[in-house]
Structure 1
């Protein structure tokens, strides 16, 4: 009983998150402080109380490390935010790279292997921000943090076009997403036309000049993503790369492609048996083809988790930088929760250079090529979606119509602390630390600066108190707690933190252990045999 009372008191002290009401689907508020009459519902915002992320002070966002291969093209757009005008200064670039202050893009070709700490300073009339970006040059140094960007599939399906891709890139700039680190712009299925008699793939009429599109993206500091299949056809029944892998890899490199999604699809008809050798073979073939080009291309393996792909995708002869762990995601709570919460056992297989991929984010306006519509996820479910993907160190690939980005979705996607958790250079994905029969779960991942990112999840249909116990998190003593979505410090807590979480909702926290005060020297040479420390 004492423990129950303590947990309830801690839940009150933790400033519980307001229960969220989605438009046209209002839920009753549970409260013990005020009697709420049904005919007089309390006024509430149309979205949860999450930070706007529009502070005028300068800030460098995104990862603190990026990789490249010596001698190959390198493009990196500084993800900086703050009130305009911003002035960026970059010093100690490795030989072969230059910085264009007008565009904010570092580009060139690093001359030799090594790690270079690059000093970056961002100034405006409100202040100065300084940070260090490590540029790591060597073999197999791509995707040192999970890729961030946009893919056409979840909104346009096979109806993608040059015009829609350019509109998405322009929206990344206009909405501030590019300034937060979203830099890959990826064409999914539906771009292919026919092959020439020599076997060279030609884009269809919706893509008049693929190289010009790649050059246009690169000029703005974006990276260019492409899609194909190891089978004769793609999922949309366009031509795949079967028996044309080397020709296609050369073509992609000539277009300036920086990211390739290789989607299993019709290879199902070739792979009659699903032995490890058969499952790996098409990805080995394309890996060898990519290695013959003179271009860094992030390799995304898409075969839905068959044969426990996470156990072999990083083999040197495959070299996957990310690998789909499940089938396609849908914008439903069942799909998001079943996919996301299954990843705790897979955490040990991911890290810098290779990432578990639970599929793209289904936030904002989606449609898969048919009539577009807002995601079917409630606001709380969207917060859970983004929270869990960040904790899992998952690629943050958007799949929405960026030209119709609403304010709530923009806030979800631009929180610098959420992005910082996903892009943490330590690269250790979260694992489940506690679960209860009431549908609550606690997940956590360690960060490079010594803090612990913790997710409090409520998978049930009722508001629940979710409790994080230090013993489950590997912590002792007192920790400061910060609410990441509200971007405020909550306080300092000892051994436990509890908070109310709405149905299908989440709280995302940053915990920093406090230094333990030194003990006073003992007067006796040895302590009494029955004396024990109190863990503080």
Structure 2
């Protein structure tokens, strides 16, 4: 008999944790009581982002190659977004950093960035990203882009007019205060000034015309949480009438603004960039602890991109390589991301995937858990071991993930079924292998190697 649901209902009442109606494969859109935009991402978004492979240098042919691969090999598993990351509007970019000495920006007459046609040739003639978006939509996929918050420094210097704000120019809505510390393309927009909201309205009007479905906006959350600009962005997206999923970046998003970001964005970064280093993965266990109450209902704490497969072909961190994590560490990464219900944005070059990397992205039962599970709980964490559980109400299943964070010691991890609200005989299945591990009474134990994990379905 399963007794987890009453316990979780009490937990939700006491903590204010979000919840939603049960979701099954036959009814993918649960009813949501939150803001309308939450219905645009009823399950955590899944896709590919160009950053980990190409940094600020990605080209149109590379985006199309990754879209082709996704459509042929991953779309049936729920992967759908293809996202062009940073500085698509700069003609003379470079890998391993940014060209900030003499960047050649491409802007229209209203100070809005346009794709650099030497990298995105289909954008010629003022077409912008619409031809590329049409190509990706034609595959049955969705298209996304990255931008920096604020208004282009060049638009300010040239005093370009702001569309929709009669007589107002870019130099009248900006401040140098709190300019991004690591990339100097844009200035801060001052909320409340005439033309400030109109500038954000104008760029999202353009993106909606292109067919953008997803936008990642950088320098919003850390080191300063830009509340005013987030609110202007939310309003501008809503005014377009197009369902554009909003991702704020980077992290760590301050926990004191949890309620605010939850009301304005579909996903938000909990950490800075995550790369193929155990320290980065290990850190996620600690920083995620504050965010469990905010998982679900169309808004999602974000563990960052998945740095697996072939990385840094022309990337920002390191040289061209396959991910440096061990197989156990890669399983741990994917297990954490999926049971936590983080958005899944793969960063490696998809056409370069090997069989092992592909297997991590196409396990139907693991992805079903990621899509359908609810009531994610941190059961135990002591710095050496972590136990996380969630539940599939439609099947009366409990999911259990165990992690050994030790660097050199194997550990036996044990979970008492009473902690999960379970009693009686429980059958256990290893979700990564599909192996049935038999039945257990009262508790379940597993010995895990350093940095290893296990993911189990309990019935």
Interval containing the TM-score (normalised by the shorter chain): 0.7 to 0.9
The equivalent residue for 1:434 is 380
**1:134 Cα deviation after fit:** 3.9
Name the SS for the 1:145 alignment partner: coil
Structure 1 residue corresponding to 2:50, chosen from 152, 163, 168: 152
Partner of 2:174: none
Residue 480 of structure 1 aligns to a residue whose secondary structure is: strand
Aligned residue number for residue 346 of structure 1: 291
Which digits, 9 at most, give the CA deviation of each residue in 1:1-43, with x for residues without a partner?
Answer: xxxxxxxxxxxxxxxxxxxxxxxxxxxxxxxxxxxxxxxxxxx
**For 1:151-210, what per-residue CA distance to the aligned partner results, in whole angstroms no more than 9, with x for missing partners?**
011111001111111011112134x21221110001110201422233232211312321
Q: 1:137: how far off? A: 8.8
Alpha-carbon distance in 1 for matches of 2:85, 2:209: 18
Give how far 1:476 is off.
1.6
CA contact under 8 A between 1:433 and 1:472: conserved in structure 2? yes
After superposition, where does 1:363-442 map in structure 2 within 5 Å? 363-367=308-312, 368-369=315-316, 371-424=319-372, 426-429=373-376, 431-435=377-381, 439-442=384-387
Partners of 1:435 and 1:137 lie apart in 2 by 32
Mean CA deviation greater in 209-218 or 465-474: 465-474
Q: What corresponds to 1:263 in structure 2? A: 218
How far is the alpha carbon of 1:499 from its aligned partner?
Answer: 1.6
User: 2:192 — aligned with what?
Assistant: none
The residue that corresponds to 1:191 in the other structure is 88
In structure 1, runs of 5+ residues without a counterpart are 1-66, 68-114, 119-130, 513-536
Question: How many Å separate the matches in 1 of 2:244 and 2:188?
Answer: 16
Aligned pair partner of 1:505 in 429, 444, 452? 452
Q: Name the residue aligned to 1:48.
A: none
Q: Please state if 1:452 is matched with 2:398.
A: yes
Q: TM-score, normalised by structure 2?
A: 0.75
CA apart distance, 1:241:
8.6
Mapped partners of 2:374, 2:63: distance in 1: 30
Query: Is 2:425–2:440's contact at 8 Å kept on the other side of the alignment?
Result: yes
- In structure 2, the CA distance between the partners of 1:260 and 1:436, relative to structure 1 (3 Å rule), is closer
* Residue from 414, 417, 420 that aligns with 1:467: 414
Say if 1:240 and 1:380 are closer, same or farther in 2 by CA, change over 3 A.
farther
2:96 corresponds in structure 1 to none
**Displacement of 1:257 after TM fit?**
0.3
Give the TM-score, by structure 1 length. Answer: 0.65
Q: Matches of 1:248 and 1:294 in 2, distance apart?
A: 14
How far did residue 422 of structure 1 move? 1.0
Residue of structure 1 equivalent to 2:65: 167
Rate the CA distance shift 1:340–1:222 in 2: closer, same or farther, 3 A: farther
- 8 A contact 1:190–1:236 mirrored in 2: no
* Aligned: 1:248 with 2:193: no
- After superposition, residues 325-340 of structure 1 pair within 5 angstroms as 325-340=270-285
Residue 132 in 1 paired to residue 26 in 2? yes
Gaps of at least 5 residues in structure 2 are 1-19, 90-104, 124-128, 153-179, 190-195
Counterpart-to-counterpart distance in 1, 2:374 and 2:141: 23
* CA displacement, residues 19-76 of structure 1 (integer Å, 9 cap, x when unaligned): xxxxxxxxxxxxxxxxxxxxxxxxxxxxxxxxxxxxxxxxxxxxxxxx9xxxxxxxxx
2:119 aligned partner = 206
On the 8 A contact 1:194/1:239 being kept in 2, the answer is no
Match of 1:305 among 248, 252, 275: 252
Q: Say which SS state the counterpart of residue 132 (structure 1) adopts.
A: coil
Check the 8 A contact 2:71/2:140 in 1, yes or no: no
Report the CA distance shift for 1:341/1:306 in structure 2 as closer, same or farther (over 3 A): closer
SS in 1 for 2:368: helix
* Deviation (angstroms), 1:217: 0.5
Comparing 177-186 and 332-341, the one that deviates more:
332-341
Point out the structure with the larger helix share: 2
In structure 2, the residue matched to 1:74 is none
8 Å Cα contact 2:253-2:268 kept in structure 1? no
Match of 1:143 in 2: 41
Tell me how far apart the structure 2 counterparts of residues 435 and 170 of structure 1 sit (CA, whole Å): 41
SS at match of 2:106: strand
- Checking the alignment, whether the CA contact within 8 Å between 2:308 and 2:323 is kept in structure 1 is yes
Cα pair distance change 1:177/1:237, threshold 3 Å? farther
Q: Name the CA shift for 1:213/1:237 in 2 (closer, same or farther; >3 Å).
A: farther
- The 3 A distance-change label for structure 1 pair 391 and 353 is same
Q: Give the equivalent residue in structure 1 for 2:98.
A: none
Tell me the equivalent position of 1:64. Answer: none
1:280 pairs with 2:227: yes
Deviation at 1:307, TM superposition (A): 2.9
CA distance in 2, matches of 1:391, 1:409: 18
CA contact (8 A) 1:228 1:241 kept: no
Question: Is 1:321 paired with 2:218?
Answer: no
Residue of structure 1 in register with 2:17 after alignment: none
Cα deviation per residue 1:342-388 (whole Å; 9 max; x = unaligned)?
31331112212100001111111111256321111111000000001
**CA distance in structure 1 between the aligned counterparts of 2:331 and 2:285, rounded to whole angstroms:** 13
Distance, in Å, in 2 between the alignment partners of 1:203 and 1:435 is 46
1:231 aligns with 2:150: yes
1:180 aligns with 77
